[in-house]
């Protein structure tokens, strides 16, 4: 196979106020014709910066410091800017994460495709519309004619990503760089988008670089994988080989931390960090029972039934997984259960009393407020940026337990130890903490008042896999130590399988299936559960190293 792109000793650095920061430190790799190369790494590994450097679209202050990058004989580092503009979009193009933000919000999607076509002289004013519609059809958008006039905000996330693909592929580039193309998309949408991208690449004989933090996804779609850490490539090779026999300790850690079938939550951690597994005590006494819960919003075009009469039960000490795609009503349900929102009808029996009768507005003054707490999805957005970790954790203790002074300080440190947050970090602000540390602060705040029931709303969705592994283990330990019951809201079946005893699958506001976790996973009864399971990336099985 001939080389299409070859990168040699590429180094990229950024000028910042605190001096020069090296983002990429001398990496070399090649992309062959027709090959799909995966670059896997966690945040800050330099994987996205590498791709921006190849396209020469680094943010202000970023420069290629050393090395060579050659694309079919063209020196990408030294090419004139106007030659680069011809290369971008026509030879090499990119698709991005967060597709909705990647599109101009006030411009019709059809016009955005036309801009690219006309810039690269692939269309004239007269046939641009027809060609843009053809580009939309190429990415399998139904009713392309009508979608041409749509604005990004009128389309779903998956649809927006297809538009971004259409823009990227409109001028038949030879190399497609996909930078986390499915982050933030639902699992079935992820599969649809990835399958589409793979098929288009194969059909047109293109090469591709897939940049992702998800080793499982990369393994499924790539011919070869590079693992990056701190700006260097630590390992490269065939996906199956990396999965079954990782050579570098970091890739081993990544492989371990990737949730998949046949693992336990402890085996996500590196072997030396695996503590003794604690067994939670599950009683058959229900702590929470939901009966016929409904929620109807007044929408613009009539009422929107977000939750349509669901019933389920959570026993003391149990961890119940609530799985579904965006819009299925899982967030509405958790918000109602945590009493931040009122249900339209239905009962929530908590500890023998119907708490749905207490309006959400006055639940803060209810004595049971302390018993039901929540860990939020985005660890960064759910912390007050002007409060230190200590202030954040003290908030519920001050307000609800009226704790003050020395007693408060002791309790905060006790909680920090419990969630594994180093004590010196307590006086830091959120922006001075890492993602994992912020997640710990959020958990400490939620368990500060010794709640009985905790709602975990995708607590690890925004975290790197190795941090996710640590946080999941922390949650498992806390459950056993404190005798908590969890409702674990997630879209990731693999994670749910690791943590939960019981699974509820929701779709369009209804429960389509519920049952013991293993049973639902291995023998799903509904087509929808089946589709969800099938869409989850399936990393190769690990060779058993005993």
Partner 1 sequence: MLASSPRLRATLLRVAQSIPVVIGVVIISFLLTRALPGDPAVYFAGVAADTASIEQTRVAMGLDKPLVQQFFIYVGNLLQGDLGQSLSSGRSVAADLAKRLPASLELTLSALILAIVIAVPLGVLAATRPGTWVDHLCRVVVTAGVSLPTFFTGILLIYIFYYLLGIAPSPLGRLDFIYLDPDHVTGFYLIDAALMGDWETWRGAAKQLILPATTLALFTLAPIARMTRAAMLTALSSDFIRTARAAGLSNRTILYRYAFRNALLPVVTTLGMVFSFALGANVLVEKVFAWPGIGSYAVEALVVSDYAAVQGFVLAMALLFVALNLVIDLLYTAIDPRIGFSSK
Question: Closer CB to partner 1, residue 206 or residue 234?
Answer: 206
Compare residues 150 and 517 and give the one whose CB is closer to partner 1.
Answer: 150
Interface ranges with partner 1 (CB under 8 A): 55, 57, 59-60, 84-90, 93-94, 96, 98, 101-107, 115-116, 119-120, 149, 151, 153-154, 164, 167-168
With respect to partner 1, which residue has the nearer C-beta, 150 or 504? 150
Q: How far is the CB of 101 from partner 1 (least distance, A)?
A: 4
Write down how long the chain is: 546
92 three-state secondary structure: strand
The least CB distance from residue 109 to partner 1, in Å, is 11
Interaxial angle between packed helices 389-400 and 405-419, expressed in degrees from 0 to 180 and rounded to the nearest 10:
120
The answer to whether the CB of 330 falls within 8 A of the CB of 284 is no
**Coil vs helix vs strand at 471:** helix
Q: How far is the CB of 57 from partner 1 (least distance, A)?
A: 5
Q: Give the H/E segment covering residue 52.
A: helix 47-55
With H, G, I as helix, E, B as strand and everything else as coil, classify residue 132. helix
Residue with smaller CB distance to partner 1, 181 or 259: 181
Of 65 and 119, the one with the shorter C-beta distance to partner 1 is 119
Nearer to partner 1, 104 or 124 (CB): 104
CB 244 within 8 A of CB 543: yes
Counting runs of H as helices and runs of E as strands, what totals does the chain give? 18, 20
Nearer to partner 1, 90 or 330 (CB): 90
Closer CB to partner 1, 181 or 280, in the complex: 181
Q: 111 is written with which tokens?
A: 């016009």
Closest approach, Cβ 121 to partner 1, in A, equals 11
Give me the least distance between CB of 77 and partner 1, in Å please: 17
Using only C-alpha atoms, the chain has a radius of gyration, in whole angstroms, of: 25
User: Alpha carbon of 34 to those of 50, 182, 223, 478, 537: distances in Å?
Assistant: 20, 21, 10, 48, 22
Please tell me whether residue 224 adopts helix, strand or coil conformation.
strand
The minimum distance between CB 100 and partner 1, in angstroms, equals 9
CB 333 within 8 A of CB 310: yes
Shortest Å, Cβ 87 to partner 1 = 7
Residue with tokens 């955005």: 112
* Bridge partners, residue 348, by sequence: 290
Cβ of residue 20: shortest distance to partner 1, in angstroms? 17
| Distances in whole angstroms, Cα of residue 263 to Cα of each of 245, 259, 345, 415 | 16, 7, 40, 29
Structure tokens at 151: 């604005």
């Amino acid at each position: 196979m001939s080389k299409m792109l070859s990168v040699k000793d590429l180094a990229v650095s950024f000028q910042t106020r605190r001096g020069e920061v090296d983002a990429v430190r001398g990496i070399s790799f090649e992309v062959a014709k027709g090959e799909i190369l995966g670059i896997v790494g966690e945040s800050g590994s330099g994987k996205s910066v590498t791709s921006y450097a190849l396209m020469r679209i680094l943010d202000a202050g970023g420069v290629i410091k050393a090395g060579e990058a050659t694309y079919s004989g063209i020196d990408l580092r030294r090419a004139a800017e106007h030659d680069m503009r011809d290369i971008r979009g026509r030879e090499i193009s990119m698709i991005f994460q967060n597709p909705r933000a990647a599109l101009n919000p006030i411009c019709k999607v059809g016009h955005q495709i036309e801009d690219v076509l006309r810039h690269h002289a692939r269309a004239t004013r007269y046939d641009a519309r027809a060609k843009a519609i053809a580009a939309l059809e190429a990415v399998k958008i139904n009713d392309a004619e009508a979608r041409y006039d749509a604005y990004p905000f009128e389309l779903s996330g998956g649809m927006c990503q297809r538009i971004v693909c259409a823009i990227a592929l409109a001028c038949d580039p030879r190399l497609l760089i996909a930078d986390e193309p499915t982050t933030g998309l639902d699992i079935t949408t992820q599969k649809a988008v990835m399958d589409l991208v793979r098929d288009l690449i194969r059909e047109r004989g293109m090469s591709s670089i897939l940049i992702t933090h998800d080793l499982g996804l990369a393994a499924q779609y790539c011919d070869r994988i590079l693992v990056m850490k701190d700006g260097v490539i630590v390992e490269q090779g065939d996906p199956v080989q990396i999965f079954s026999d990782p050579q570098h300790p970091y890739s081993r850690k990544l492989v371990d931390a990737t949730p998949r079938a046949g693992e336990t939550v402890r085996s996500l951690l590196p072997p030396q960090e695996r503590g003794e597994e604690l067994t939670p005590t599950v009683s058959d006494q229900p702590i929470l029972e939901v009966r016929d819960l409904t929620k109807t919003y007044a929408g613009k075009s009539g009422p929107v039934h977000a939750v349509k009469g669901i019933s389920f039960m959570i026993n003391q000490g149990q961890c119940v997984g609530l799985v579904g795609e965006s819009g299925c009503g899982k967030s509405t349900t958790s918000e109602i259960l945590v009493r931040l929102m009122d249900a339209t009808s239905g009962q929530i029996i908590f500890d023998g009393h119907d708490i749905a009768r207490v309006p959400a507005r006055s639940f803060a003054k209810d004595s049971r407020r302390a018993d039901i707490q929540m860990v939020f999805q985005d660890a960064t957005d759910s912390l007050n940026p002007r409060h230190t970790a200590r202030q954040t954790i003290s908030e519920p203790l001050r307000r609800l337990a009226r704790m003050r002074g020395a007693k408060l300080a002791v309790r905060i440190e006790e909680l920090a130890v419990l969630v594994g947050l180093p004590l010196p970090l307590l006086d830091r602000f959120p922006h001075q903490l890492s993602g994992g540390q912020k997640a710990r602060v959020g958990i400490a705040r939620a368990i500060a008042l010794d709640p009985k029931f905790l709602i975990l709303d995708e607590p690890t969705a925004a975290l790197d896999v190795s941090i996710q592994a640590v946080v999941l283990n922390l949650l498992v330990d806390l459950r056993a130590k404190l005798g908590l019951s969890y409702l674990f809201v997630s879209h990731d079946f693999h994670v749910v399988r690791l943590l939960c005893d019981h699974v509820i699958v929701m779709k369009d506001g209804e429960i389509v299936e519920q049952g013991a976790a293993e049973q639902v996973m291995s023998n799903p009864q509904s087509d929808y559960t089946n589709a969800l399971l099938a869409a989850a990336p399936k990393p190769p099985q690990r060779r058993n190293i005993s």
